[in-house]
Amino acid sequence: MKITAAVTREPGGPFHLEPVDIEDPLPGEVRVRILATGICHTDMVMRDQLLPVPQPVVLGHEGAGIVESVGPGVRKVKAGDAVVISFNTCGTCPSCTNAAPSYCREFFPRNFFGTRLDGSSGLSKDGEPIHGNIFGQSSFATYALAHERNVVKVPDDAPVALLGPLACGVMTGVGTVTNALKVRAGQSVVVMGAGTVGLSAIMAARMVGAGRIIAIDPQPARRDMALSLGASDVIDPVGTDTVAAVLAMTQGVGVDYSIDTTARADVIRSGIMMLAPMGECAVVGAIAHGQDIAVDGGHLLSGGRRLRGVVEGDADPDQFIPWLIDLHRAGRLPFDRLVQFYPLADINQAVAASEQGQVIKPIILMPGTPAPVL
Ligand SMILES: [Zn+2]
Ligand SMILES: [Zn+2]
């Protein structure tokens, strides 16, 4: 079948809209007519090869759409079902069977290798192989091959074209607070970086009744958004000693939790230094393999402080995404305030606007998809 896909052909290069052939779904696969797909910072990390994926490739990993056809053996969904598409996992390793699929032992091959496990991709152009299967989907396209494992059925009356970001960015921010750190009422949280993940963490921290919620971001508009979504305090890190500022706000004690969404080693170090005794710093942003983080050993040891990584908010998408939809419906997770829609033809403008900080969460609408009324 012929589809239109945004193909990335060189490191850091633009997205080229091209006609591409997509295969029929194999056993366990699901072909989805994409209505819309969020753009996540990790797509840029892959484009720039900081997280190396083979090119040419179709990126995109916050897809939302309608199941067009299913491969043999698929029972979870059928043609016509509305779905969002999350990360892909094996379903049988110790992490997957222990309700921790984001730590699947096959996470890299199933999400970042650009092919199925058998080496094929399902995508090609005039015989030229195009890499696909990024996050088990490659959803910067009018259709995507996903898997029974990573599609999550959503209610038919849900605003499907809005929901793609629940599959990665929003899930990561909310889940870091509710699943990974288990922030409780009255506890204090610092969120470093007020993009989609950071702002989602702030909404979740407010939801669980956290006390002090401190957002750190250099952009005034994002600090304002953080305040309007539940932050109690904001800090401009430019020219500011953020550790001293946080300690000053907390009577010199520090905070219970810090969450890094910036993937910068110096920022993560500051996130550890601002922890109270028993505090925990979560590294959430896509920091590169080989990137060291300097840690003050004495500070970590004394007070029993912790540093940990969190992937996709420790969430199991099958349970978590329906919960996020319910929260949004109830007005408790207004992530639609972060969103701006762009037609597929303007994907490069959407990426540029995101990288320049003009938009927090761009969502690409495929041709014919009306923008949801918000
Ligand atoms: Zn697994
Ligand atoms: Zn992502």
Give tens-digit pLDDT for 165-219: 999 999 999 999 999 999 999 999 999 999 999 999 999 999 999 999 999 999 9
- The ligand whose atoms approach the alpha carbon of 150 most closely is 1
* Burial of 130 (C-beta count, 10 Å sphere; 0-12/13-18/19+): buried
Amino acid, res. 164: G
CA 350 / ligand 2 centre spacing (Å): 16
For residue 312, the CA-to-ligand 2 centroid distance in Å is: 8
Average pLDDT on 2-29 reads 98
pLDDT-derived band at 373 (thresholds 50, 70, 90) equals: confident
Nearest ligand to the CA atom of 89: 1
pLDDT at 34 over 90: yes
Residue 359 CB neighbour total at 10 angstroms? 20
Ligand closest to Cα of 85 equals: 2
Q: State in Å: Cα 220 to ligand 1 middle.
A: 41
Q: Same CATH topology for 2-167+334-365 and 173-311?
A: no
Distance 106 CA to ligand 1 centre (A): 6
Name the E strands within 193-274. Answer: 213-216, 233-235, 255-260
Ligand approaching nearest to the C-alpha of 316: 1
Which ligand is the nearest neighbour of the Cα of 61? 2
Half-sphere exposure of 187 (CA within 13 A, CB side): 23
Average pLDDT, stretch 131-138? 98
Distance 241 CA to ligand 1 centre (A): 41
Band of pLDDT at residue 317, cut at 50, 70 and 90: very high
Number of helices (H), then strands (E), belonging to the chain: the values are: 11, 18
How far, in Å, from the CA of 291 to the mean position of ligand 1? 25
Count the neighbouring beta carbons within 10 Å of the beta carbon of residue 332. 13
What is the DSSP secondary-structure string of 307-336? EEE-SGGG--HHHHHHHHHHHHHTTS--GG
Ligand nearest to the CA of 90: 1
Q: Where are the beta strands (DSSP E) in the chain?
A: 2-8, 15-22, 29-38, 57-58, 63-70, 82-85, 123-125, 128-130, 143-147, 151-153, 189-192, 213-216, 233-235, 255-260, 275-283, 306-309, 339-343, 361-365
> Which ligand lies nearest to the CA atom of residue 98 in the structure?
1
The top-level CATH class assigned to 173-311 is: alpha beta
Q: What is the pLDDT of residue 374?
A: 78
On average, the pLDDT of the chain sits at 97
CA of 318 to the centre of ligand 1 (A): 15
Ligand nearest to the CA of 168: 2
Residue 113 structure tokens: 């290798």
Q: What residue ranges do the domains of the chain occupy?
A: 2-167+334-365, 173-311
Percent of the chain with pLDDT over 90: 98
- What is the Å distance from ligand 2's center to 179 Cα? 18
Measured from the alpha carbon of residue 62, the closest ligand is: 2
Kindly report the CATH number that applies to the domain delimited by 2-167+334-365: 3.90.180.10
Question: How far apart are the CA of 209 and the centre of ligand 2, in A?
Answer: 26
Q: If you count them, how many residues does the chain have?
A: 374
Which ligand sits nearest to residue 105's alpha carbon?
Answer: 1
Q: How far apart are CA 80 and CA 68, in angstroms?
A: 6
